Structure 1
Amino acid sequence: MNWDYLAEDQSQHYFAAWLQLLMKKSPALPLKLAKHHRREDVDATEVSKFSNGAYNICCTVTFEDGFRVIVRFPILGRSRFRTEKSRNEVLMMLYLYDNTNVPVPRVLGAGNWDLICSLSLDPTISGSDIEHAFRGMAHVLLELSKPVFPYIGAITEESWMWKVGGRALSLNMNELVSELAERYLLHLEYQRNDAVDDEPDCRKRYIARCLFRKITRQIPLEESGPFHLYCDDLRPPNVLVSDSEPNITINSVIDWDYTYTAPVEFTQAAPWWLLFESPEDWESDLNEFLLRYMPRLEFFLNILRSCEDEQIKMHTMEEDHRLSNKMAESMENGNSWFCLAARKGFMFDDIYWAFLDQRYFGEGSLEDRISLLSQEELEELERLVPLKMQQAKENTLEEHLSYDEM
């Protein structure tokens, strides 16, 4: 679905006001935080310029003995549930540090960073560079698949025991709450601006969401577990490496904000980052995208199978815990696209009509699809269309939280 640009503009205003306040308190604030969390009798002497990503802004603080830490701030206006998000990320890093071989920064209050660069690769690379990158990512995915949990949700620690004790704060949840929506149908209703182009577009989007809900009630999802760790935002740019010949060495994996024990189908879905592009950079015709993606997927799966063979030979994983076969199967049965549609709200409509609609409902026109809706859904459709047209004319936002409340 299209972005609500009025809401985005408001978020930018919140961000600008918050950033101005942060700048007034810097560099004293980062120095103070770094010194406090290190808790050693060494002075923090230097603060780098701030750099910001999608949801966090951070700087590097250097101590007089050369020790460096990152101080990170979740951005107001972009990162919702900021306290919960940060708490979940810290707990996840502590868990991974103690229970897996995934290289993560040591948590002080934020973490230490003595690394060189991130695995941000040109989408056109090939040969040994991409093979080394894929091999590193394969090992990370295999490590995340090893811990098992009986429930879906966020990891917490109680009485020195790790357990699933919170909701799964996923990346998609973070985006949808901007429109006060928990599900796609609510998102369609409550995003006031830029949600639809016109009446036919509104009807098509509504029908897609009703039928997607119908699919979720029909497909056999794994409900009993065990469940594994999944990071919504795991991708090569979040992997810090030492670029030393002849190999790329992974030093640390960062940005664990949206990591939780997830539905089995999520962990078994083919990775979306294989072309080193964000989904918003894919071709508008997803069938054209597949022409580039499928050869890259096969290349990655071969490397993943090789890594699995190595670990099975070393007795660090079992034969029936392979991911490669499940990922290949997820593309064949459509589960990868189902999971991506469930997680990536802004791509939902393209994915649904390109890969899910005919798979589950066969050939047919939009009128044929309307006949699949219940009477209640049909009545809601007739209520929703004029509502969205009226909202488009008004071009306003509904205020729910003040700046101070945020």
Structure 2
Amino acid sequence: MPPQKTSSLKTYFDNIAVTNGDDECRAWLERVLDLKTELATFVADHREGNGTGNYVSFLKGSFNFSFSFSFSFTDGGPDAIIRSPKPGHMATALRDEKVTNEVQVMEYLAQNTTIPLPRVHSWGLTAESLKQLGPFIIMDSVDGMLLSTLLKRQSENGEEVILLNQDFDNTALDKIYYQIADGMLQLSQLTTFTHIGAISKRHGSNIWSVIRRPLTYNMNELMTVAGYPANKFPTAPFDRASDYFRSVANEHLNHLRTQRNLADDAGIVQKRFVARYQFAQLIPKYCVDDAGPFIPFCNDMRPSNMLIDPDTLRITAVLYFEFTNTMPAQFTYDPPWWLLLSGPEWWLDRCSMEEFVTDYKPRMEQFLRALERVGKEASLKKQPSGTLLSTRMRGSWRSGRFWFNYAARKSFEVDGVYWAALHDGSSSVQLFSEAVHAEIEDLTKMKMEQLKAYKEECTA
């Protein structure tokens, strides 16, 4: 079908929720900044080595706030940072859960892969933190610049979006892709799990299992910028991929029902409903390996979360593993969504599917060639088994499963992705049952009432 622009379905955050979150975060930051001296002592007491730390700088990320401290060479330990998730930008109710999950994943990966990770010295929950500031991780400070900074094109006209510099040297990009491909191949070959969720190590053993629900990036976004009720999220792991996808489809529909400013008129309500309703109908088509395997999947393993030595082009650290869970293996078998640095929604909002594909496919092929080189070298060390990861990724792209998986992880983007990539032109609202028609009618009325109340609250 011809490429479709989806600007009318651009998804906006709930500005009231965003403002409240910003206020909460600002008050927390003011409190934290007043405690730099005490934090230096806290970090010194919770890291390897001796001595007192000296404050160096701070860094604000999307979800975290980090302080960097230096230590002398004579105290027996490296420089360190302390990182905490920010309230307001990271749902307060999820902060302890997020840090617990991330530390467990980092330990698991440090044991089972050669992915470069900062060494964790100490971590704790809110109850164990300095003056109850919140959960924390204390880890080595690693030198390097953000890989996304090295790869991005120069901004134009104050443009804030980060896009790949298409003139970046191909030989250098091959070297960078090779290292990331090596990490992704290692992740794909990890021990598989029987459930979808957060991994943890059994107390007093080296046995890893899944006993908690998957905590995802999408869940955090829905809670912090959409007003989504926390009691509608899953509370336990899943043992079937189809059950997980049905839970996600339910999240998408609940998002439409609960975010008050998600539709400006009746037509947009209908288009969003159809996209989310039909997404659920696509589960039998795109869900494969229903009973597993389930593999640790990091949706955020991308250049903006990696450090690189710009002189040697060696990746020195992968920084964040928040929202990493065991997931349906088909997520691991997708080509990376971040090869143009910003996600596909940037093109779908402003341009067209055709323009995204034109820019994306050459980079995808370049990455898959790097992955094939990594796979060939790995096969020389041990007997290969199963289908090559690069072959699986090409299959995901050709079949359209790439788009289904992407939409599964993005309640804010599912509408644009559905209409641009998953809609086959055959489904029609007229073919829906009377019950579904009644649901659309009731939903439209509710959304218009919600929007009116939202606008009045914004004005007030």
TM-score for the superposition, normalised by structure 1:
0.90
Where do residues 30-179 of structure 1 align in structure 2 (5 Å cutoff)? 31-44=40-53, 46-65=54-73, 67-80=78-91, 81-109=94-122, 110-120=138-148, 121-122=151-152, 123-124=164-165, 125-147=168-190, 148-158=192-202, 159-160=204-205, 161-178=207-224, 179=227
The separation in 1 between residues aligned to 2:21 and 2:357, in whole angstroms, is 34
User: Residue 383 and residue 131 in structure 1: after superposition, are their counterparts in 2 closer, same or farther (change >3 A)?
Assistant: same
Q: Which runs of 5+ in 1 are unaligned?
A: 399-406
Structure 2 residue matching 1:229: 3-state secondary structure: strand
Q: How does 1:280-295 map to 2 (within 5 A)?
A: 280-284=345-349, 285-295=352-362
- Given candidates 436, 440, 448, the residue that maps to 1:377 is 436
Q: How does 1:347-362 map to 2 (within 5 A)?
A: 347-358=413-424
> Pick from 228, 242, 252: which aligns with 1:180?
228
Change (3 A) 1:87 1:397: farther
Q: Give the TM-score taking structure 2 as reference length.
A: 0.80
Instruction: Give runs of aligned pairs for residues 301-320 of structure 1, distance below 5 A.
Output: 301-315=368-382, 318-320=384-386
2:21 equivalent to 1:11? yes
CA–CA distance in structure 2, aligned partners of residues 262 and 397 of structure 1: 41
Q: Give 1:133 shift.
A: 1.4
1:84 Cα deviation from its structure 2 partner: 0.5
Are residue 224 (structure 1) and residue 291 (structure 2) matched? yes
> In 2 relative to 1, CA 397–328 (structure 1 residues): closer, same or farther, beyond 3 Å?
farther
| Structure 1 residue 251, shift from structure 2 partner | 2.0
In structure 2, what residue type is equivalent to 1:176? L
Aligned residue pairs total 385
Does the 8 A contact of 2:176 with 2:315 survive in 1?
A: no
Partner secondary structure for residue 344 of structure 1: coil
Q: CA deviation at 1:51?
A: 1.2
The CA distance in 1 between the partners of 2:208 and 2:34, in whole Å, is 39
Query: Matched residue of 1:108: which SS?
Result: strand
> What is the root-mean-square deviation in Å for CA atoms of aligned residues?
1.9
Residue aligned with 2:176, SS? helix
Match of 2:7 in 1: none
2:159 maps to what in 1? none
CA deviation map 1:257-289 (0-9, x unaligned): 111111111111111011122445335312211
**CA deviation string 1:208-257 (max 9, x = no partner):** 11111111245442122222110021101212222334xx2122211001
8 Å contact from structure 1 (residues 274, 296) kept in 2? yes
Q: State the match for 1:395 in structure 2.
A: 454
Aligned partner of residue 199 in structure 2, secondary structure: strand
Would the aligned equivalents of 1:229 and 1:262 in 2 still touch at CA under 8 Å? yes
The residue type equivalent to 2:25 in the other structure is: F
Is the contact between residue 149 and residue 261 of structure 1 (CA under 8 Å) also seen in structure 2? yes
Is the 2:41–2:52 Cα contact (8 Å) retained in structure 1? Answer: no
Alpha-carbon contact 1:287-1:354 (below 8 Å) kept = no
Q: Which amino acid aligns with 2:12?
A: N
Does residue 264 of the first structure (1) align with residue 329 of the second (2)? yes
Identity of aligned residues (%): 33
Q: Give the secondary structure class of the aligned counterpart of 1:309.
A: helix
> Contact 1:4–1:191 at 8 Å: present in 2 too?
yes
Give every structure 1 segment of 4 or more consecutive aligned residues whose post-TM-superposition deviation is greater than 4 Å. none
Query: Which whole-Å deviations, capped at 9, do the CAs of 1:71-107 have from their partners, x for residues lacking one?
Result: 1010101112011001111111111111111111111
